[in-house]
Structure 1
Amino acid sequence: MFRDAMMQSLVEGTHIDLQAYRPAVVYLNGAYWGIHNIREKLNEHYIASHYNIDPDNLDLLENRNIPLEGDSEHYTALENYISTHDLSIPANYEYVQSQMDIQNFIDYQTAQIFFDNRDWPGNNLKYWREKKSTGRWRWILYDTDFGFGLYNPPAYQLNTLEFATATNGPEWPNPPWSTLFLRKLLENEEFKIGFVNRFADLLNTNFKSDLVYQKIEYFKNLIESEMPNHFRRWQEGLGWYSLNVWYYHIETLRTFAKFRPAYVTAHIISKFHLNGVEPVTMRHSSEYGKVRLNSLYIDDEMWKGNYFKGLPVELEAIPRPGYRFIEWQGIDNHNLNPVRIVPSEVLDITAVFEIDSSYTGDIVINEISYHSHPDFDSGDWVELYNAS
């Protein structure tokens, strides 16, 4: 009843296009019809409303180059380019970056891989671009119900990274055309590092077991009190599916959430021949500033995560107004900001800030009067806030 919505909620705030969700109790002519999910319809109007673009000026495709809106010419040309060019060459990769949203693609792939969605990538694909010279392809996440062990409770063990990069998969669910983009992009070192580091960022945040537990409980609690009525209404049609079976599937979700991060980490290590992970602890005074670690902006005064050995990660200390960055403690290049480090041992890093005595404060405009009505003309003026 909420599998897809829960999985999509795990990647809220990323670069992925998602469907909103709200459960509703439905009555038709006064007759009870149980719980139905209100979802956004994925069409040209969804894209237009989210991106403020003309719904008649876009290409929206599904599965293998099937146009739902516009045409497939641009995508087919990109597919041919990726298929026939060596993307380890920087110029070729740069061209591909100009044709597709790489951040969106990485987040989309990591989500599907983490979920172990087995009705993908040769199915349930939607992707779009605005029809203009700078329009880039983006992927929409939807219909992930096969993920999180729907038909295979121990699916948390499965190596979906290999599944998503297979060169000889069957027609369904992962034929070669459906894995082409990720396979070819991983030839490029910059993309590979970005892909692995972004996966690490998400494993340290959105995909952490305790956070996924919270999401599962939230969605369960939304509809749990209504589920007995729902099952009574549809008892004949649902057959073997009962309230107890529903609770069994929720427990499957919890089990997947508990064990999946460790297995995915092991799959990444195996795929890219890495030497494991190292714990990284970040410390700073949140009153004075915050820290960016790769794609994460860390406000917590102490934060811990795991990063892959041998792959560079980037740190940036971001002082708040009135403060300045002094140094890093715990790494060699303590004066560089931003700085790249390569985890090879346990790291405990502190960003040190101090008060910036030269800071005079931001100008705050309280009010502006310009071209007033003749009946109330007080002239043109600006009122500034005096904080002293």
Structure 2
Amino acid sequence: RLADAPSQHTGRLQWGGDPDDFRVEAPLQLLVEGANVLTVEVHSVSNDGTLSLTPFLSIGKKHSAVPGNPSSYIDFAEDTLHAGFALSSSGEEVVLADAGGAVLDSFTYPQLWADQTYGYDAAHNLVIFQQATPDAANSAAGFADVVGAVTISPDGGAYSLTQTVSLGCQTAGADIWYTLDGTEPAANGASSVLYTAPFDVSPPAVNPVVGVRAIGVVNGWWPSRIKTTSFLFNLQHDMKVWSIVTDPYYMWDPNEGIYSNFQADLEQPFHVELFEDDGTKLFASDVGAKIHGGATRSNAQKTLAIVFRGAYGESQIPIPFFGDDKPSVYNRLLLRNSGQDWMHSFIRDGLAHLILSEADLDVQGFQPSVVYINGQYWGIHNIRERMDKFYTKGNHYVDEDNIDLLELSGWGVHEGDNDIWFELLNYIASNPLSDPIAYEAVKSRIDVESFADYIIAEVFMNNQDWPHNNVKYWRSRELSGKWRFLFYDCDGGVGNWGLDASFDKLALALGGGFTATDLFNDLLQSPEFEQLFLNRYAEYLATSFDRSRTTNLLRKAARGIYPEINDTYIRWGGSPAGWRNEIFDIFYFLRDRVAYARSHVASHFGTGGQAWTLTTGAWPPTGGSVKLAAISVSERTSIPYWQGVPVTITAVAEPGFEFDRWSDSTLPQQPTIEIPPSNRAVGAIFKVVQMPAVAVINEINYNSSVVFDPADWVEVHNPGDSDFDLDGYELRDNNDAHQYFFPQGTIIPAHGYVVICQDLAAFQLLFPSVLAIGDLGFGLGGGGDSVRLFDAAGVLYDSVAYDDVAPWPTEPDGQGPTLELIDPYSDNALPQSWRSSLANGTPGN
């Protein structure tokens, strides 16, 4: 026996605490030569059925300049070598070189799909293997050839009548086998049919979706990729529809099925197709699928995590599900069962995120959809972003492989490591944040505005599954990276679990005891943070949380899923009668929550509730805005603030305007001022100013579609109020040898444009009314490039280094649209400053 836990021991990790440390004294006296087994025995002290164990064994090593094992008594297996780079599933060259860079061996491998490898067989022929043998001889069977793609005609989609389906294959003479029940087709497979002639696919009597799957087979070759398409008959839905087709083995096998092994971290191959409510197909690809979630994995209807990866098919889904403020492409998506709101309202978490969309907070997009699996109706699944490294890339434009992403107390490490986090906690423990210097140091490492919004969100929404659970936070590992907390899984709030609007969640947050709440209480030692928190909360209570706004969002969300509620409840064995009561519970919560929230703040912070009101705005409203603690306003707006708490406001001018004065002459007349806590009306007055002439790279056409090809072109814009002279200026791509000198006398008029073309004749054929110049003399890279503008002295004046992958818009890469700058006064070096154009671009406009 090495060590004993206390007889009444409560697990700590799952509640955000640190693990207990049971030290093993004099371990060498216990070890025997050969393999040693450590056993951990756990007993439940009650009959409540709960028991969990997360064991860690740490073997310490004294600091030493000599690398190697922690002890000469213990032998660890060698670490696997880590190359620090990934290989593309689409194929590329692999080179083995010596220390001097001389090439020892190389080959170029082809497109490889999931579970395929490429290498030399026993006869030293380069072949594709279906069984990997790392660190061993390539003994598995391999074939050099792969059967070409199978075709299905007509393509799947929405139909009302029987369709006659024809199959074909790019490889002449291949046998084609097909199935209609979701199983993977194979030669002589149990459910497979050998294709000999076109066959009919008719509307089924029960399930309205039929998945057709086909494969090409040639003896001595690897079979083709399975081709899958779905035929949807007479569907009537008011939301997007997913048809998922997978071999039932991957759903229900006792060992490998993801539904029958819902607690396991299994990923299995699925095929997904996405349709608009009118039947238009938006997307189709093979993907990976996993069960996602915690306790709600045990629900009959489960959350699916959809993984887009090149080894399956498409590496991303290029659909802007959640509007312009969210990414346009996704590497991962959740088809969510609504978690702990399952078979209740189905919208609580999504609604909370919609309400919080205007806060400085990491929230998930929300869009309801309907799912069919192997033709069977699977009910409402809400399309959601997954809170992982790809979320940080898509929403914050950071390198997803250069972040720290932690959970709960910091011991749950999803990405990176927890070193900087624990260094921060140690600093806070040793330096009270009532000291302004210590608070400034912490501000440089935590995004305090976003953290204040995070606490406000959890408290206002009354999330009962927080803070002991559902706590994640991340930072970019760049020197300027700050910790931000992720808001997710609010199914246990917004009037759920029988708790109405009166519940005081703020009391729990102020009580500490958990990672997020301890940090909150530490930050409240700073008067600056307390004022920040109180003023941001006051502004949200008057705007984003106002009951007219929140209840309108509720009505819209409820109407959106109402047509599917009856069928979803019946599909999963419930009664839809209770759904309306759930919606009423949410309505009453939102209607009453603001008043209760004000009373909770007044009780805990001694602010006396609503005490004074600031009325502010901008004149003219188009000239600028007034930035408050959390929000910016242009139109006349009144905010009730807390007794004794001042607020700092800043006048922010729009391009073409500058701050003139505050309407209240008794106030200081600089742009940023502090308003004392007494009723006041003050507006920011702006005046028109002349905008200087500038040249901005404003639109780029780098890869035209095959059906509309004016060749490459670049648009330069002058948003200023006077002409801009381009005499002596030159345009380059990322190759300094590629130079285009603007003709003498080239002028961009005020608010005007100039278009520079790779092929002027081809451009004018398609845009005959647009004035343009050229020829450019070089083209732009379709896989990413730079467009650089140099002045007459050869100094870089403006530059855009674009790419054809997210976070840059991907539609301009051969699909027709161009890359267009959203605002000429934004930073055009940032991908978020750009969007895809409509149609084929707007050169000269």
* Paired position in structure 2 for 1:120: 466
Against the structure 1 CA distance between its residues 322 and 51, is the aligned structure 2 distance closer, same or farther, given a 3 Å change threshold?
Answer: closer
SS at match of 1:158: coil
Asked if the contact 2:547/2:594 (under 8 Å) is kept, the reply is yes
Taking the TM superposition and a 5 Å limit, the aligned residue runs for 1:1-388 are 1-65=346-410, 66-154=412-500, 156-167=501-512, 175-234=513-572, 236=573, 238=574, 242-276=575-609, 277-283=611-617, 284-300=619-635, 302-321=636-655, 323-330=657-664, 332-333=666-667, 335-344=669-678, 346-353=679-686, 355-356=687-688, 359-363=689-693, 365=695, 370=730, 379=743, 382-386=746-750
Task: Give the Cα separation in 2 of the matches to 1:371 and 1:177.
Answer: 53
Cα displacement (A) at 1:261: 0.9
Cα displacement (A) at 1:341: 0.9
Question: One-letter code of the match for 1:103?
Answer: E
Question: One-letter code of the match for 2:570?
Answer: R
* Paired position in structure 2 for 1:170: none
Query: Which stretches in structure 2 are left out of the alignment for 5+ residues?
Result: 1-345, 696-715, 718-725, 753-845
Question: One-letter code of the match for 2:620?
Answer: S
SS at match of 2:616: strand
SS at match of 2:531: helix
Task: Give the Cα separation in 2 of the matches to 1:377 and 1:327.
Answer: 45
Against the structure 1 CA distance between its residues 316 and 233, is the aligned structure 2 distance closer, same or farther, given a 3 Å change threshold?
Answer: same
SS at match of 2:490: coil
The structure with more helix, counted as a fraction of residues: 1
Task: Give the Cα separation in 1 of the matches to 2:639 and 2:742.
Answer: 58
SS at match of 1:203: helix
Task: Give the Cα separation in 2 of the matches to 1:243 and 1:82.
Answer: 50
SS at match of 1:128: strand
Superposed CA deviations along residues 150-189 of structure 1, whole A, max 9, x for unmatched, are: 01242x112211111204xxxxxxx344421001110101
Question: One-letter code of the match for 2:673?
Answer: V
Against the structure 1 CA distance between its residues 287 and 112, is the aligned structure 2 distance closer, same or farther, given a 3 Å change threshold?
Answer: same
* Paired position in structure 2 for 1:171: none
Question: One-letter code of the match for 2:367?
Answer: R
Superposed CA deviations along residues 197-224 of structure 1, whole A, max 9, x for unmatched, are: 1111211211111111121112112111
Task: Give the Cα separation in 1 of the matches to 2:402 and 2:653.
Answer: 42
Against the structure 1 CA distance between its residues 290 and 64, is the aligned structure 2 distance closer, same or farther, given a 3 Å change threshold?
Answer: closer
SS at match of 1:306: strand
Asked if the contact 1:62/1:127 (under 8 Å) is kept, the reply is yes
Q: TM-score, normalised by structure 2?
A: 0.41
Task: Give the Cα separation in 2 of the matches to 1:377 and 1:320.
Answer: 34
Cα displacement (A) at 1:142: 0.5
* Paired position in structure 1 for 2:44: none
Against the structure 1 CA distance between its residues 294 and 49, is the aligned structure 2 distance closer, same or farther, given a 3 Å change threshold?
Answer: closer
Question: One-letter code of the match for 1:285?
Answer: P
Work out which structure has the larger RCO, using CA pairs closer than 8 Å and 6 or more positions apart in sequence: 1
Identity within the alignment, %: 31
Asked if the contact 2:652/2:671 (under 8 Å) is kept, the reply is no
Question: One-letter code of the match for 1:209?
Answer: R
Task: Give the Cα separation in 1 of the matches to 2:393 and 2:627.
Answer: 32
Asked if the contact 1:371/1:380 (under 8 Å) is kept, the reply is no
Query: Which stretches in structure 1 are left out of the alignment for 5+ residues?
Result: 168-174
Task: Give the Cα separation in 2 of the matches to 1:58 and 1:318.
Answer: 33
Against the structure 1 CA distance between its residues 142 and 349, is the aligned structure 2 distance closer, same or farther, given a 3 Å change threshold?
Answer: same
Moved more, 109-118 or 363-372: 363-372
Against the structure 1 CA distance between its residues 387 and 72, is the aligned structure 2 distance closer, same or farther, given a 3 Å change threshold?
Answer: closer
Against the structure 1 CA distance between its residues 267 and 222, is the aligned structure 2 distance closer, same or farther, given a 3 Å change threshold?
Answer: same
Moved more, 75-84 or 217-226: 75-84
Asked if the contact 2:355/2:550 (under 8 Å) is kept, the reply is yes
Cα displacement (A) at 1:288: 4.1
Question: One-letter code of the match for 2:357?
Answer: E
Moved more, 281-290 or 82-91: 281-290
Question: One-letter code of the match for 2:586?
Answer: L
Moved more, 364-373 or 32-41: 364-373
Task: Give the Cα separation in 1 of the matches to 2:388 and 2:508.
Answer: 28
Task: Give the Cα separation in 2 of the matches to 1:46 and 1:84.
Answer: 33
SS at match of 1:118: coil
Task: Give the Cα separation in 1 of the matches to 2:638 and 2:591.
Answer: 18
Asked if the contact 1:116/1:147 (under 8 Å) is kept, the reply is yes
Moved more, 288-297 or 315-324: 315-324
Against the structure 1 CA distance between its residues 55 and 342, is the aligned structure 2 distance closer, same or farther, given a 3 Å change threshold?
Answer: same
Cα displacement (A) at 1:116: 0.8
Superposed CA deviations along residues 204-251 of structure 1, whole A, max 9, x for unmatched, are: 2111111111211121121111212212222x2x3xxx3231111111
Against the structure 1 CA distance between its residues 68 and 318, is the aligned structure 2 distance closer, same or farther, given a 3 Å change threshold?
Answer: closer
Question: One-letter code of the match for 2:638?
Answer: K
Asked if the contact 1:21/1:38 (under 8 Å) is kept, the reply is yes
Task: Give the Cα separation in 2 of the matches to 1:287 and 1:307.
Answer: 26
Task: Give the Cα separation in 1 of the matches to 2:650 and 2:398.
Answer: 34
Cα displacement (A) at 1:382: 4.6
Task: Give the Cα separation in 2 of the matches to 1:16 and 1:377.
Answer: 46
Cα displacement (A) at 1:54: 3.3
Against the structure 1 CA distance between its residues 116 and 326, is the aligned structure 2 distance closer, same or farther, given a 3 Å change threshold?
Answer: same
Asked if the contact 1:363/1:384 (under 8 Å) is kept, the reply is no
Question: One-letter code of the match for 1:293?
Answer: L
Q: TM-score, normalised by structure 1?
A: 0.86
SS at match of 2:640: strand
Asked if the contact 1:293/1:316 (under 8 Å) is kept, the reply is yes
Task: Give the Cα separation in 1 of the matches to 2:558 and 2:627.
Answer: 33
Asked if the contact 1:115/1:147 (under 8 Å) is kept, the reply is yes
Asked if the contact 1:371/1:379 (under 8 Å) is kept, the reply is no
Pair member with larger Rg = 2
Task: Give the Cα separation in 1 of the matches to 2:694 and 2:516.
Answer: 53
Counting matched residue pairs gives 370
Against the structure 1 CA distance between its residues 83 and 220, is the aligned structure 2 distance closer, same or farther, given a 3 Å change threshold?
Answer: same
Task: Give the Cα separation in 1 of the matches to 2:552 and 2:368.
Answer: 18
Task: Give the Cα separation in 2 of the matches to 1:201 and 1:230.
Answer: 38
Cα displacement (A) at 1:50: 2.9
Cα displacement (A) at 1:381: 6.1
Task: Give the Cα separation in 1 of the matches to 2:432 and 2:564.
Answer: 55
Asked if the contact 1:317/1:351 (under 8 Å) is kept, the reply is yes
Question: One-letter code of the match for 1:360?
Answer: Q
Against the structure 1 CA distance between its residues 253 and 381, is the aligned structure 2 distance closer, same or farther, given a 3 Å change threshold?
Answer: farther
